[in-house]
Amino acid sequence: MGRKVFEEHGFSLKGRILPLEKFQLFCDRESGAVFSDNIKKQILERADGLLNKEYPAIYATDYMIYKRSGNRSVFEAKQFERRNDMLTFAYAEYIERNGRYTDKLCDLIWLILEETTWVVPAHNRVRAGVNGCLSYEFAETVDYIDLFSGATGACLACVYYLCGDILDGVTPLIRERILYELNRRVITPFCSEYLDVWTWTGRGRKANNWCPWIISNVLTVCALTVSDMNKREKIVKFSMECLDGFTASYQSDGCCEEGPGYWSGAAGALYNACIVLYDMSDGYINVFRDPLVVNMAEYIAKVNINGDYYVNFADAHPKVNSVSYWMLDFASLCGSHLMESFIKSKIDGNEPKYSREWHFPYRGLRVYGFETAETAEFKSPRKVWFDGTQVAITREFEASNNGFYLAVKGGHNDETGHNHNDVGNFIVYADGKPLFIDLGVGEYTSKTFSRTRYEIPSMRSDYHNLPTFNGVCQQNGRAFEARNCKYDDESGALELELTAAYPTEAELTQYTRRASLENGEITVVDSFTLVNEGSAVFNFITRTYPQNIRENSFEIEGRNVTFDSALTFAVEQIGCASVEMRYIPKDWQTDKLWRITLTGEKFDGGKKYKFIFRVK
């Protein structure tokens, strides 16, 4: 696996952490917080449009609805808009300083401070023997920090730091209350014994995006509001220990197991945390040029297919539209020409936009002063091999909208909290358009992260481009994995032994898949042996209905797919009526998605079979 980056660099904190009174935003610049003229205009226009907005109450039943039905969006929509708009009013008043936005800013600050908990219902902790439909975190009982309580704290810290004199001009009680709530809900829990039992911290265990996401925001609260030097040093020390758990959970290839949709909140959150650490230490704590951090940064450029399409293995939508100027800053700090040219090609000379980065306000503030970047040409790498996570990518030509594109994954079926049972899955694009797809992920509900997660079709192997043997799908768990992985550096072909990805009920003696893009043709070769007489169904997922169906071939998006005539062709519409599935077709810009099945019955036990699928 990866490395404990901060520990390896051997940073000594004594005397290196700046006191609050000497701290400066973005110490590698002279001016701290800066808003470009273009960003100022966007912020003020947005703030003006919000001046007459009324904010609905957040009711107890809004919180309860998650426990009752699994719905997250009712509560979160109300909570999130308060934070987004609070930052907008804070930035607008900081820019203009004439009092036009102060009352609205105070209203939103007070609304947020009065919320019983900043932890969303989906992350609510349950007290033993008590119905957990509401939070017990009132008075001095806060014992948890989740993604959004940490982000809420960071937002309030930014408001406290930037608008302190403005708020004090109304009454110093506002900033006193902010400090009180930040200490009660963020600082005190983080500095307590709870840090050793929270599962997201990465201290002695595998960490996912929660770790850098929360740590980056705890550090923001610390940097901008904590005056006690012992606490400042303690929080930095604990934060680096946690971040080491996160980097140690990565393979050296930098591949984000959670998929490109989570890269912004994973590697991007690490960038946010590293920027705060850099500023708190006046540039001393700096890991941006570390090879692992560079690889983590470059992942997003390496998995881009064409336009906004990305390799969407795991819980990932097929399109990621959030290319932003902070990514360009990340590339620059890492010294990555690959990532820098990629981001510039996506920005394409467009002006920076006010993105309302309430989940990561510190990195938002850092880039609001950026001027328009020049465009650049990005040459897509024709071959990418993530050797640790076993993801192979091959494209026919450098131009992303030309020729075939093949991505194949090995790995295992316990890849973070966003795992799909998809070992051996592949996706195919032609001329930048999807042919065989990974469905991705739909709306999150309580079911998504429950024991019944793998009842959701998009999580199951039979709704990926994978076979089902004797009616049995792959199973989740670390033991269900690819073995004897063989990658051909010259051709980009990937061969995987996939027997162990299936449970014993599949009655597989052996199953191997080889996938390649060579000589303008994609070939998938599946070889298997069953224990006893049985069946195999080869599944293929598409966004368009197959055309020109013949005995041993069909067409998708004008490309010809051939298969063994011994297999029986069928096609069915994928059911997307459930809450967890209903938005997936929209992701693919269609109202229907399809599963092609090629079925073989009565394969003899002990006999080796080989089936070849070609896309031309």
Chain segment 39-61, per-residue pLDDT in tens = 999 999 999 999 999 999 999 99
Taking the C-alpha atoms of residue 209 and residue 315, their distance in angstroms, rounded to an integer, is: 13
With bands split at pLDDT 50, 70 and 90, how would you rate the model's confidence at 416? Answer: confident
3-state secondary structure of 514: strand
185-192: average pLDDT: 96
Contacts of 526 (CB under 8 A, 6+ apart): 467, 511, 512, 513, 538, 610, 611, 612, 613
The pLDDT, as a whole number, for residue 61 is 97
Taking the C-alpha atoms of residue 63 and residue 58, their distance in angstroms, rounded to an integer, is: 8
The answer to whether residue 244 sits within a structural domain is: yes
362-387: average pLDDT: 94
Domain end point (choices 162, 190, 218): 190
Cβ contact 136:104 at 8 Å: no
> Looking at residue 545, which CATH number applies to its domain?
2.70.98.70
Top pLDDT among 216 and 444 is at 216
The pLDDT, as a whole number, for residue 503 is 98
Do 280 and 186 share a structural domain? no
Taking the C-alpha atoms of residue 76 and residue 141, their distance in angstroms, rounded to an integer, is: 22
The answer to whether residue 578 sits within a structural domain is: yes
The answer to whether residue 196 sits within a structural domain is: no
Q: Does the pLDDT value for residue 526 go beyond 90?
A: yes
Q: Does the pLDDT value for residue 310 go beyond 70?
A: yes
The pLDDT, as a whole number, for residue 196 is 84
The pLDDT, as a whole number, for residue 212 is 97
Do 319 and 243 share a structural domain? yes
The pLDDT, as a whole number, for residue 1 is 64
3-state secondary structure of 477: strand
316-339: average pLDDT: 92
Do 313 and 437 share a structural domain? no
Backbone angles phi, psi at 203, to 5 degrees: -85, 100
Domain end point (choices 158, 190, 222): 190
Top pLDDT among 203 and 287 is at 287
B/e letters for 377-397, b = 16+ CB within 10 Å, e = fewer, are ebebbeebbbebbbbbbbbbe
Q: Does the pLDDT value for residue 436 go beyond 90?
A: yes
485-490: average pLDDT: 96
Angle between helices 102-114 and 172-182 (to 10 degrees): 30
3-state secondary structure of 342: helix
The pLDDT, as a whole number, for residue 433 is 95
Domain end point (choices 156, 190, 224): 190
The answer to whether residue 419 sits within a structural domain is: yes
Do 72 and 5 share a structural domain? no
**pLDDT, the chain, mean:** 95
Handedness of CA 41, 78, 113, 155 (dihedral sign): negative
Do 350 and 209 share a structural domain? yes
The answer to whether residue 222 sits within a structural domain is: yes
312-320: average pLDDT: 91
Cβ contact 120:72 at 8 Å: yes
Do 205 and 175 share a structural domain? no
The answer to whether residue 195 sits within a structural domain is: no
| Count of all residues that appear for the chain in the document | 616
Tokens (6 digits) for 127: 């007290």
Residue 349 backbone class (left: φ over 0; alpha: ψ -120 to 50; beta: rest)? left
With bands split at pLDDT 50, 70 and 90, how would you rate the model's confidence at 29? Answer: confident
- For residue 298, count CB atoms less than 10 angstroms from its CB and return exposed for 0-12, middle for 13-18, buried for 19 or more: buried
The answer to whether residue 556 sits within a structural domain is: yes
Tokens (6 digits) for 187: 């600082």
Token pair 């096609």: residue: 571
Q: Does the pLDDT value for residue 301 go beyond 90?
A: yes
555, β-bridge pairs: 547, 560
Count CB atoms within 10 A of the CB of residue 127: 12
Do 175 and 53 share a structural domain? yes
Name the least confident of 27-36, 112-121, 472-481.
Answer: 27-36
412-437: average pLDDT: 94
Do 108 and 14 share a structural domain? no
The string of pLDDT tens digits covering residues 126-183 is: 888 899 999 999 888 899 999 999 999 999 999 999 999 999 999 999 999 999 999 9
The string of pLDDT tens digits covering residues 556-579 is: 999 999 999 999 999 999 999 999
Kindly report each contact of residues 46-52 with a partner whose C-beta sits within 8 Å and lies 24 or more positions away, as own/partner. Answer: 46/88, 46/92, 46/354, 47/88, 47/89, 47/91, 47/92, 47/101, 50/85, 50/88, 50/89, 50/104, 51/100, 51/101, 51/104
38, β-bridge pairs: none
Token pair 């470009």: residue: 36
Q: Does the pLDDT value for residue 4 go beyond 90?
A: yes
Count CB atoms within 10 A of the CB of residue 272: 30
The pLDDT, as a whole number, for residue 593 is 97
Q: Does the pLDDT value for residue 322 go beyond 80?
A: no
Taking the C-alpha atoms of residue 358 and residue 79, their distance in angstroms, rounded to an integer, is: 12
Taking the C-alpha atoms of residue 241 and residue 260, their distance in angstroms, rounded to an integer, is: 25
The pLDDT, as a whole number, for residue 135 is 94
Tokens (6 digits) for 73: 């969006």
Taking the C-alpha atoms of residue 530 and residue 534, their distance in angstroms, rounded to an integer, is: 7
69-91: average pLDDT: 95
The number of angstroms, rounded, from the C-alpha of 103 to the middle of its chain's C-alpha atoms is: 36
Do 115 and 76 share a structural domain? yes
Helix segments in 487-535, DSSP class H: none
Do 242 and 361 share a structural domain? yes
The number of angstroms, rounded, from the C-alpha of 231 to the middle of its chain's C-alpha atoms is: 30
- Number of domains within the chain: 3
3-state secondary structure of 202: coil
Pairing verdict, β 568-573 and 483-487: unpaired
Name the least confident of 197-201, 214-218, 339-343, 495-499.
Answer: 197-201
Amino acid, single-letter form, for residue 305: I
- CA-based nearest residue to 222, from 194, 189, 271, 270: 189
- The one-character DSSP state at 183 is I
Do 208 and 138 share a structural domain? no
Pairing verdict, β 559-562 and 553-556: antiparallel
The answer to whether residue 451 sits within a structural domain is: yes
> Looking at residue 234, which CATH number applies to its domain?
1.50.10.100
Do 139 and 40 share a structural domain? yes
Share of the chain above pLDDT 70, in %: 100
Cβ contact 148:123 at 8 Å: yes
Sheet strands side by side (includes 404-409): 383-386, 391-395, 404-409, 426-430, 433-436
Residue 398: domain span: 383-615
3-state secondary structure of 538: strand
88-108: average pLDDT: 97
3-state secondary structure of 200: coil
Q: Does the pLDDT value for residue 115 go beyond 80?
A: yes
Q: Which value, to the nearest 10 degrees, does the dihedral of the CA atoms of residues 195, 201, 202, 204 take?
A: 20
